A and B are shown apart, each in its own frame.
Chain A
Amino acid sequence: MKANHHFLKAVAAVALIASAGLANAGGTTSVDVTASVPGVCKFTSATMTAIALGAMDPATVGAAGVSNTGNITYNCTKGLTPAITKTGGGTTLTDGTKTIPYTFSLGSPEAGVGFATTSKVVATASVTQADVQAAAAGTAYKDTVTLSIDN
């Protein structure tokens, strides 16, 4: 009796397995939908607004020298903080013949908030008091700094 009871249980289990297999062969199926969004950034423009140091008067320049700031703007995938590096320029202003040493530095970049919104990093250009006082007169000192943005 006990053996037959076990036999019935086994048969019932096999029957259930068989019926489950047949159910899977029914008229439904699933399709996975997939996509990926890369972590990327790009500058908002190939040319940023110039940082103007204005008229540097050797006679009145203070101990802090002359400096000014400008925004370097970019778009990044949301949540991504870019690495922005200087790849060229940023050391010397020139009018073609005469030069004035200067420094160009970048602050901490803001994290991206999505490509539809602009983020920024502040750039600072500075000329020391000594370099202003040593500069030759001129009206067209300038430099071009090249930047790169990772991601």
Chain B
Amino acid sequence: MMSDRKYIVGIDLGTTNSVVAYTDASIEKGEAPEIRIFDIPQLTGPGSLEQRQTLPSFVLLPGPHDVPPDGLALPWNQKADMAVGAFARDRGAEIPHRLVSSAKSWLCHFGVDRTRPILPWGADKDAKRLSPVEASAAVLMHIRDAWNFVLAGDDPSLRLENQEIVLTVPASFDAVARELTVKAAASAGLENLTLLEEPQAAFYAWIYNAGDNWRKMVSVGDVVLVCDIGGGTSDFSLIAVSEDDGNLTLERVAVGNHLLVGGDNMDLAMAHMVAKKLAAQGKSLDSWQMRGLWQSCRSAKEKLLEPDGPASHAVTVLGRGRGLIAGTIKSELSAKEVFQTLAEGFFPLCEKDAQPVAPARSGMREMGLVYEADPAVTRHLAAFLQRAGLTKSMPTAVLFNGGVMKAASLKERIIEAISLWDEAGRGARELSGADPDLAVAKGAACYGFSRQGQGVRIRGGLNKTYFVGIEAAMPAVPGLPAPQKALCVAPFGMEEGTGEFLTGREFGLVVGEKVKFDFLASDTRHDDKAGDIIEDWAGQLYNVSSLETELSGEAGAVLPVTLEVHATQVGTLELWCVQADGDKRWKLEFNVREKE
């Protein structure tokens, strides 16, 4: 029961950085919770332990010669053979085929088998590897062990496994990716879990910071765009403010795609720009120097984009080894250059019906993460708003989140782009948040707390409409694949803790044979109800995965079953085949292997 948990913990399992925030579960009624950040002990060098507010979500799997013996020892695990955190990230940059990064983005990649050990991508066959689920679990296990060491000691009631945990996921994560996230958490022993969408968490953090004033800062009819641009990913969501019985209510009405473009792309773009300048002077850079240049550009960018920043900043790459001064390569970045490159490359002012540019692909593609072909965030944003149905009036307020959005000039640029799309030319106003790096974790802790009592909740429910493919009852035509119709099983906005019982539709399934359903989703169709059949769905629905099970019983018999769908309190989707004239049930499992 919630009442005997000591803490409510919000875990932001980020693509680049993870953060943990917590608050006491038992607080006097009417008092605001005090949310603290858990400083996570981690290795910052071989044999060097420190507490930091963020834990870089990198896992280093060193070979026998990559780190000193016992260099990975942790106070809670003297025999550790992998590292998680700042040292993993820094050392891993030097030995990249031993480093697992962006495991989270692999969780929603359906071109690979997500349960097989495939990371680090491109590593040798005999090197140690982890599956995306195992890598995410490794980060959570580090958090769990660190928490238990620092805060729990000998008291089992203070262990992380026994606290109320809210884990954030991107709003665009589909049912399969969410299921895998829950699996990763379960293998780390974290089972008192609820999933929360990251943009919603950022909004909760904003409400917490604003205190009771938040009701004065938004009004009925406001549409808030949550724009979260981090190191590797960008996420958009829309939250509508309306009214119920005199109270302000919030509802998450639209969710964007998981875009693999972010701050790292911007730093790389600037590094390439400087490299081009240097090439014009006849200086070429090797990969070590490019990495140093990337770092140098990142810190230059941060200084140049500050409100009263300098007009230009030197970018230096020191020479390798002892040839420090002799090998120094120097160049310069001006504030104007930086803003122009970023504004035109990543935030171009475009039409409101702009679509992301998809360049002609050559036949073969390197396997790996599906990075965005078009890095223009504003074009993706325009497409998102179109899909969400905002064709005439644009969002009235924007909440920014993520490391990239610390730069005021980029925030203004986005607001400018939005005001161009608005028919009346109105600009959106900015809702000022705090701590763009820590907001998601704080918001998650806040949400966990408000679930207990009367805190304001953002209504959300299912973020997509889900369908199951069924074959049309039509005579087979040789050469043509049997046409498929789509049966809606889980409507958009389906609330957690509810179920849909599709008793109107029976399937005759053969016992002993593998049963397979195509599992489809749509981001655009919001009005379908459970049980609706869609005949012509090309272009609107996309294939997510397949659902599989095997019926038990008399082999060869044909059993009539109906489908049952549950949206769990945790935040995942469960589908069951239920015997039509009996009690037996079989759970349909998501297939996370490669798409055939």
Q: Do A and B bind each other?
A: no
